[in-house]
Structures are given as structure tokens and as C-alpha cells.
Structure 1
Amino acid sequence: MTDAQASSAADVQATIDQLWIYPVKSCAGVRVDEAELTDTGLLFDRSWMVVDAQGEFVSQRELPRMALIQPSFKMGQLVLRAPGMLALHLELNAAEGPLKVRVWDDEVQACDMGDLAAQWFSDFLGRDAPAGLKQLRLARFDPEVRRPSSARWLGGREAGTQFADGFALLVTSTASLEGLNERLVAAGEAPVDMRRFRPNIVLRGVDAHDEDRVGPLRIHTGGDGAAVIETVKPCARCPIPNVDPDTAASSPAVSDALQAYRQDARLNGAVTFGMNAIVTEGDGQFLRVGQAVTAEWAFD
């Protein structure tokens, strides 16, 4: 059977509707038309992370204003902009020394991005921050370091990530967001956009939350090329989806709506939206908006 014949016979047939990269963990994302896939996720996704004086990562949970920091890429540089701040330009491979950092339970050796970046983040985020979060630094993931994903969800396989919470990719669907927005509007709340959920890959052509129950997703990258990603763990949701990405103001409406229908027995009743995924094939392949995605159902 040819690849095309296998695709047409697949249970699940979708397309990539959106691709997102989040260069600095917990800052705004960059919506792209194409992205290179690596074994730790999309190239440059969560390659940088803001840490406190002890090297502990910080996020919108503690500092909602991180949502207002907008990254972009230009001529081999990561450019960061924020309201009232001059743009910060950083060479993609720059580093000024080693820095030990912690992200959740993992302590890893990273690269310090230097005093200028530290001052920029401290000036923008530290002004209204608690005492322990006024002095911040920016770390870059060391590509020589291996940070493994949780073995509990991998069935004996090996997979890694950079500074993402735990897995290489996050997959959602347009239908899942539409279902949430129907509930929000019915409750008298404003609809929200996908930025609240910080996915990497957004699928179109599947029903709401079909991403919860599919086997390996085969992404047809052109010609004989393909990439395969596998959803392995439901994504438990903290309060970050309550933060308006345009204003950094927080409201409990999103969490309240999800609580009513998205409690997941696989995570002891935690509220989930989207699926964490690992890369099993396709390191170096390019993912593009509009590419076909096929899979078979994987019901428990």
C-alpha cells in the first residue's frame, strides 16, 4: 500500500491549521507558517527561560506580565519587545557563561544570557513583582544537555524536551477551542483565542478533543517525507489560560468553564485541554500549515 493509499484509509484525517513557537518559556508565542521539527520539539521552542536569583524558573503563574513580552526572529537574532521597553536583541547562539537552573523537578546546566538580558527582564517584570522575583536572569538551554521526559508516560521509550514543562510538543484542535467558546458565550463571557493554551500544533478537521484519543499522528511533509508524533499525556491546566495575552489581566472564566466538562480521570480529575506529545520520527523535517495529518483511533 502506498503512503497516499494508507492516508486515505486512515481513521483520522486532519490538517495542520496553526503552528506556534514559544522561544522564551511563558512569554508570548510566535505564529509561523513552517517550523523545523527536532527530537525535542520545534526548533527554538522553549529554548530560553527566565529564572530568579536561585535559578528557579518563573512563569505567568507568578508574573502575568510575561504574556506581554513578544519575541520575534530577525537576521540570526531573537528580538524581544515589551511595552515601554527598548527592544532587546540577542544572538541566537549567544551565551556568557554556565548557569544551573531548575524547571519543575529537573535541575539542568544551562547558559546565562548575560547582564544586559538580566537587567531587561528585571526592569520589565520586577517592578511590581514580589521581593524574591525582582532580580531575574535569562537562561538558554544548553544543546549538549539531555532533559528526559517523564518515563511514566513513555512506555519504555526515551524522549526529551528543552524548557517545556515536560514534553516536546503540545497538540490541540480548532474544534476543542470552538467547544470551549460556545460554553463561555453561553455563560455570558467573551470567547478566547488559542493563544491562551500555548499549543505547538493545532489540528483542523477533527471533532472537539479528538486529540485525546488518537494513536501516532503521521504528518505528511511532502514527497516521501513524513514525521510521526505521539500523544502521550493529557495537558493539565494551571491558571495561565485565565491570563489575557493582550493585557495580562486575569479572570477565572476559562478555568471555571473547563472545570464543568474537562476533568480527566487519567490525571485524577485534573482539568485538561490538549495533549502532550513526543517526536518518534522526523528529526529535521519541516512542518507547514496545511500539511495532511493522519492517525488511527487509540481508545482505552
Structure 2
Amino acid sequence: MAEIIGVVERIWRYPVKSTGGERLDSVEVDSRGLAGDRLYAVRDGHGKFGSGKTTRRFRRMDGLLRLSARLGHRLDAPVLLDPLGSPVADPDAFLRAYLGREDVELAREDAVSHFDQLPVSLLTTATLDWVRAACPAAAVDERRFRPNLLLRTPPGTPPFVEDTWFGREAAGGGLRLALIRASERCVMTAAPQPGLPHAPEILRAVATHHGNRLDALADVTAPGRIAVGDELRLV
């Protein structure tokens, strides 16, 4: 019998890269990932995407995580929400004033992917509970780690159980995922966002005790629909 590794407790989609996401009851998943996930990004005049870090593809833009976004069923233009959760009428004008940059705009993905790494991220409650125990003074929430799927694991499951899944596939709700590796964590883990103050001790704990890695990243090997309450099994 296939091993149950968890039950889907929450589903998160992030319509605009590096901003807060939206909770879903269910979602279609194809080879690109969750429908509409990171479909948009804040792009500057050099074609770099707003992020928590600066690299060849990304430019650090502080404050994006205080914003959030949601999408309609047709995955048309996202509704951008300000730090108080109110919809923004003109996203480009708002972003230019908010970031103090005249060269930024909200851009839909085209030839260059908005993903940092792989398309789907899974995190277990066992690992999240470890972070809470390691950082008792911090406000710990899965939103700091931006998973797509938060899995409720059975009692007694050890933290970082995700590491034991790599090289295998998981299936649930008609969806099949190839579990490959963990995310390398960056300053966004500690960054403030609505309801969660700055907490650098979280990133330090993950770096010290687990090589700065946390979650399971996956490719989609068979598209399908996943819903809260679905069991995910190793196959």
C-alpha cells in the first residue's frame, strides 16, 4: 500500500511573484505549476523581476511582501492589494509610488519564467512545528516559507521529513508530483509581512540546523486537481 505522507491542509497561490498569496480550497495543476501561480511579477526597466534578492534575473525590491494579490477564475489581470488589504485601482501607478521607482510595471509571464526554482513547493506541519520550537519568540507561519501545499503530517512525524521524499513521486487528487530537492532559503523568510514582524532568527535557525534548506520542491509529472483534505501518497 502506498504510504500516506500527509493531508492537504492549506493551498496557497501567489499571483504576483514576491507578494503575499491567496488561500484556495482547490486548484488545477499543470506542468507549469498551480494555475496562475507567479503568473505576474513586478518588472523593472532592465527586465529584472522584483524579489527579495538581487541576481542575474531578479532585483531586490523591499516592501513587496507587504502587498498581496488574488486572481479570478479566468486568470486575468490580478487584483493587487495594498498593505492594509485594500484593492489598488491602478497597479502600475501604485507600484511606482510605493517602491519609489518610475521604471516598474506589473508584467505577465512570457518567455522567461517567474519561478526561482521548481514549480511546486510542499511543506509539512512537522517541519513548521520544529521552526516554532526553535524560535519560540518569533511569529512563525507557513506564509514565511511560501509553500503551495501545507501538508498535515501524522503525529510523531520527524521534522524535515520532506528530505526523505526526494527521488520519489507523490500522488493525490488526480495530481502526480516528482519530489526533487529543498529550497535554499533567503532573506524573505525573515522579512515582515502583514501580521508577521521581522524575524531574522528564523533564517538563522534554518541555516544553522538544516543547511539553509526547508520544504520539498517538485515538478509535475501528471496534471490534476488538488483540494484541501486530499491525501498525498508516495508511489
TM-score by length of 2: 0.86
Q: CA deviation at 1:83?
A: 3.7
Counterparts of residues 156-171 of structure 1 (less than 5 Å): 162-171=113-122
Deviations 1:218-251 (A, max 9, x none): 11x2xxxx21101112110011100122168533
Q: Please tell me the root mean square deviation across aligned C-alpha atoms, in Å.
A: 2.2
Larger Rg: 1
Aligned structure 1 segments of 4 or more residues deviating by more than 6 angstroms: none
Deviations 1:139-163 (A, max 9, x none): 1013xx4x6xxxxxxxxxxxxxx41
Counterparts of residues 24-43 of structure 1 (less than 5 Å): 24-43=16-35
Instruction: Tell me the equivalent position of 1:67.
Output: 65
Q: Which amino acid aligns with 1:184?
A: C
Match of 1:287 among 217, 226, 234: 226
Say whether residues 1:88 and 2:88 are aligned partners: yes
| Structure 2 residue matching 1:87: 3-state secondary structure | coil
Say whether residues 1:123 and 2:97 are aligned partners: yes
What is the aligned length?
Answer: 222
Instruction: Tell me the equivalent position of 2:199.
Output: 251
Q: Which amino acid aligns with 1:170?
A: S
Q: Which consecutive unaligned segments of at least 5 residues does structure 1 have?
A: 1-8, 90-115, 127-132, 148-161, 264-270
Change (3 A) 1:254 1:20: same
TM-score by length of 1: 0.68
Q: Which amino acid aligns with 1:79?
A: V
Q: CA deviation at 1:84?
A: 7.3
Q: Which amino acid aligns with 2:208?
A: A
| Structure 2 residue matching 1:235: 3-state secondary structure | coil
Deviations 1:146-204 (A, max 9, x none): x6xxxxxxxxxxxxxx411121111111111101110111xxx2231000000001111
Q: CA deviation at 1:52?
A: 1.4
**Contact conserved, 2:139 with 2:199, CA < 8 A, in 1?**
no
| Structure 2 residue matching 1:16: 3-state secondary structure | strand
Instruction: Tell me the equivalent position of 1:232.
Output: 180
Q: Which consecutive unaligned segments of at least 5 residues does structure 2 have?
A: 54-59
Q: Which amino acid aligns with 2:96?
A: S
> In percent, how many aligned pairs have the same letter?
25
Q: Which amino acid aligns with 1:33?
A: D
Say whether residues 1:273 and 2:221 are aligned partners: no
**Contact conserved, 1:65 with 1:248, CA < 8 A, in 2?**
no
Say whether residues 1:194 and 2:147 are aligned partners: no
Say whether residues 1:138 and 2:106 are aligned partners: yes
Q: CA deviation at 1:15?
A: 1.0
**Contact conserved, 1:12 with 1:294, CA < 8 A, in 2?**
yes
**Contact conserved, 2:138 with 2:199, CA < 8 A, in 1?**
no
Change (3 A) 1:47 1:239: same
Instruction: Tell me the equivalent position of 1:203.
Output: 151
